[in-house]
Amino acid sequence: MSCVISMQPSEKYLMEVRPYGYNVSIETESEFLSWVGLVARMDKCSITNCGSGWAYRGQRKAEWSIQSSFERLFRCKGTECELRSEERKRLKSFQFSYGCNQSNKQDLDVLSWMATMQHYGVATRLIDFTESPFVALFMATREMSTMKNDKDKKEDFSVWAIYRGAYKDVYNSRSPLSCWRTQHCEKLKYPFNACGNPNQTTSIENELYGVDSNVVCANCHLSGQADDCVERIDNFPKVLWIRPGIGNQRLWAQVGLFLMPLSLKKTTMQQLFWHPFTQTDGEHEEKDFSRMGDISIEDPDFHVEYSRIVRFKFAHGLLPYVKIFLRLANIRASLLFPDIEGVAQEFRGEI
């Protein structure tokens, strides 16, 4: 009778696959300072890993999962084809209403149009993230008041951290995607590929910007031409991290980028838990994560270096302390929203 020895995964494997997700509780001022030190160490990855470190998103309610506004509106009901058709219909209506014949808007590609819609609060599949954990913390708390009011619910808030490097085989976050036209990827014929096979179809972006061969072109996907896109892979939900090639003052100030789920039928959380190494569908992982209990940030069993997704949950009682910290760090509305809206937000926050 053979004996099966259970082998522990190697550290290299765990750091590449990043299999773990955590719900991490932060309840005291001491734990909050531990979090500040932790994200400072985590963000060293962003510098040494060519920008493929961590991305953050702040949310006012800790129990909220990560969803796009389009997902909240349609709740993934309908077939993939029906949902994409609805998305394109909304896009065309927005273009018509906004004035797509304006000369300064004619060169916008589909992705840039979608980013414009997102900027003005229209429901899209794009999800706002930032490379700064403190900007994410501000976004989670900016609508929360420290004034004592018995009618207010004392709800915890959260900052999500997603390790972008874990998705390195399915996206390229630095490609100037605004130059991708709806003619799917500006395909060219090269006489030979690396293996010597003739007539391989590839794209300019693959050559110039090193986009992995299994990245789905964002503009092809949004414009409904994904079937002919040279980057297409069947049946695998996945996400893209997107930074438009031409940004704006708000994106610059907030160190912003977008998460783009490629399936409208799958939830964003399912697609985040899909991974090129494990190739699971993400459904079981999403359910397991939602049922997972909280762990203290100072718990020795919390291994952020092996984590793909971490939800940091902040106790509502920390809100006054967090507000003071952000003010001292000069993380404020008038700087993150560099227009009259930011100034007005600051004054509203004093009431």
Q: Is the pLDDT of residue 3 over 70?
A: no
From 181-185, 215-219, 319-323, the region with the lowest mean pLDDT: 181-185
Beta bridge partner(s), residue 26: 314
Q: Is the pLDDT of residue 114 over 90?
A: no
The confidence score (pLDDT) of residue 100 equals: 58
Mean pLDDT value of segment 184-194? 36
Q: How many CA atoms lie within 13 A of 58 on its CB side?
A: 22
Structure tokens at 124: 């899209």
Query: What is the mean predicted confidence (pLDDT) over 178-183?
Result: 35
130-144 pLDDT tens trace: 999 999 999 999 988
Tokens 């991708």 appear where? 180
Q: What is the pLDDT of residues 77-105, one digit of tens each?
A: 988 888 888 998 998 888 888 765 555 55
Distance CA 145, CA 35 (A): 22
Instruction: Report the distance separating Cα 29 and Cα 31, nearest Å.
Output: 5
Rounded to an integer, what distance in angstroms lies between the CA atom of residue 214 and that of residue 277? 13
Pick left, alpha or beta for residue 214 (phi over 0 → left; psi -120 to 50 → alpha; otherwise beta): alpha
306 pLDDT exceeds 50?
Answer: yes
Among 239, 237, 255, 238, CA closest to 247? 255
What does the pLDDT read at residue 78? 86
Task: Give the pLDDT of residue 148.
Answer: 60
Torsional sign, CA 164, 165, 169, 173 = positive
Mean pLDDT of the chain: 75
Q: Is the pLDDT of residue 181 over 70?
A: no
Q: Is 163 helix (H, G, I), strand (E, B) or coil?
A: strand
CA separation for the pair 10, 151 (Å, rounded): 51
pTM: 0.79
